[in-house]
Amino acid sequence: MTTRAAVVQGVGGCVPPRSVDNIELSSRLATSDAWIRERLGIARRHVADGMSTVDLAVEAGARALEMADTGAGVGELDVVLLATTTPDRLCPASAPEVASRLGYTGTAAFDVNAVCAGFVHALATGSALIRGHMADRVLVIGADVFTTLVDPGDRLTAAIFGDGAGALVLRVGTPDEPGAVRAFDLGSDGSQVAAVEVPAGGARDRLGMPVANQRPYLVMDGPAVFQRAVREMTESSRRVLAKAEWEADSVRRFVPHQANIRIIHRVAERLGIGAERVVANIQDVGNTVAASIPLALADAHDAGRLAAGQRVLLTSIGAGLAWGSAVLTWPKLEGKARL
C-alpha cells in the first residue's frame, strides 16, 4: 500500500484594512516608535474594525482554496480546521460557520485552541486525518482578532499584537513529492498556565470559583515567556528535524511564530540558521497569534521567497504553555496569496 501524506496545495492570507503604526500608538501610550522597533521589531499592526475572526478566516480560506483551484462546492473539501483563541462566540465553535460561508455546509469542521501554537497543532491534525484515510482534502486556517483581548492601555501588549488570518489547503499525496508535510513535534507545560493568560471570563470565573487575577485582558510575564519561547522553539525544532532526518543546514526557509524579533533571531542563531533563510513579517503585522505562521507563509510566497522543493521548518509556542514544530517541502504554487 502506498504511504499517504498531506501535501500543501494552496496558501492564503488576510489582514483587516486598518493599520496602526507605532507613531499612532505612541501618541496615546508611554512608548515610542524607536522602543517598539528595537525591542519587538514591529513598525505597524492591523487591527480588526468591523471584521471578526470568522470574517478574516473566510477571506484567507477563500484565497487558499482559489490558489488550490478547488472551487467552492460540497464534496470537494472533507474537513475545515480553524485554529483560534478568539472565536466569534463562546459557543458554538467558529469553524462550522467558516465552512458554511465558504460553501461547504455539511462538511466536518471544528476549532483548535493552542493560542500561538494553534496553527501547527491544527496542521498536525489535518495531516493525521489525511494519513489516516479520514480525509483527502483539508482546509487549515489560523485566525485571531487578539487585539480584543489586549488592554489598550498596556504599552507592551498593545504594541505586540495584531489581527489577521492565514490558511493552507492540504490534499492527499505521497511523502516524496514537493509540498509534502514530513514530521511534527508537539508539546505542552500546563504548570506554566499563568505565564500568559486572560484570567477572567472563563468557566471558573462564571462558577464563582477562585480566580487569581480578575483582569479581562491578557496578562503576560514577558521575561519568563521570552526564555521559555527560545528554549522550547529551539528544542522542538531540533526534535522535528531529527524525525525527518534533516540537518538544519538543509533548511532553506525557517518560518517561526512571529512573537518578537529578538526571539526569532535568538532561535535561528541557536539552530545555526542564517538570517537570509529566516522568514519574518512581524514588522508589518505584529504578533497575529494563530495566524502568525500561515500569514508569514502567504507573505513569503507573494514575495517570491518560497520555491518548489525548498525544505521549510515551522516552529511556534503559545500560552498553555503549548508548542509545536513541523517540517515540509514547499510545492509549486501559482497566484497571489494576499490581494
Active-site option among 14, 46, 113, 116: 116
pLDDT band at 213 (very low <50, low <70, confident <90, very high): confident
pLDDT digits (tens, 9 = 90+) for 10-66: 999 999 999 999 999 999 999 999 999 999 999 999 999 999 999 999 999 999 999
Active-site residue, 116 included: yes
Torsions phi, psi for 105 (to 5 deg): -60, 130
Cell of 126: 489535518
CA distances from 334 to 46, 60, 83, 313, 323 (A): 26, 16, 25, 21, 31
Asked whether residue 73 carries a pLDDT value surpassing 50, the answer given is no
Q: Is the pLDDT of residue 74 over 60?
A: no
On whether the CB atoms of residues 101 and 139 are closer than 8 A, the answer is no
**Three-class secondary structure assignment of the chain:** CCCCEEEEEEEEEECCCCEEEHHHHHCCCCCCHHHHHHHHCCCEEECCCCCCHHHHHHHHHHHHHHHHCCCCCCCCCCEEEEECCCCCCCCCCCHHHHHHHCCCCCCEEEEECCHHHHHHHHHHHHHHHHHCCCCCEEEEEEEECHHHHCCCCCHHHHHHECCEEEEEEEEEECCCCCCEEEEEEEEECHHHHHHEECCCCCHHHHCCCCCCCCCCCCEECHHHHHHHHHHHHHHHHHHHHHHHCCCHHHCCEEEECCCCHHHHHHHHHHHCCCHHHECCCHHHHCECHHHHHHHHHHHHHHCCCCCCCCEEEEEEEECCCEEEEEEEECCCCCCCCCC
Q: Establish whether 287 is a catalytic residue.
A: yes
Residue found under cell 504548570: 191
Catalytic residue of the set 22, 113, 260, 287: 287
Q: Which of these is catalytic: 257, 260, 281, 301?
A: 257
d(CA 330, CA 160): 29
All cell numbers assigned to 268? 535561528
What tens digit of pLDDT does each residue of 103-155 get?
999 999 999 999 999 999 999 999 999 999 999 999 999 999 999 999 999 98
First to last CA, the chain: 41
Q: Name the grid cell of 23.
A: 507613531
Pairing of strands 108-112, 79-83: parallel
Mean pLDDT of 216-232: 94
Closest CA to 329 of 275, 258, 265, 251: 251
- pTM as predicted: 0.96
Q: Residue 134: which of 183, 190, 172 has the closest Cα? A: 172
Q: What pLDDT shows up at residue 210?
A: 83
Cα–Cα distance between 114 and 104 in angstroms, integer? 25
Burial of 190 from C-beta contacts in 10 A (0-12 / 13-18 / 19+): exposed
C-alpha cell at 54: 470568522
pLDDT score for 204: 87
Neighbours of 193 (CB within 10 A): 13
The cell numbers describing 158, all together, are 498593545
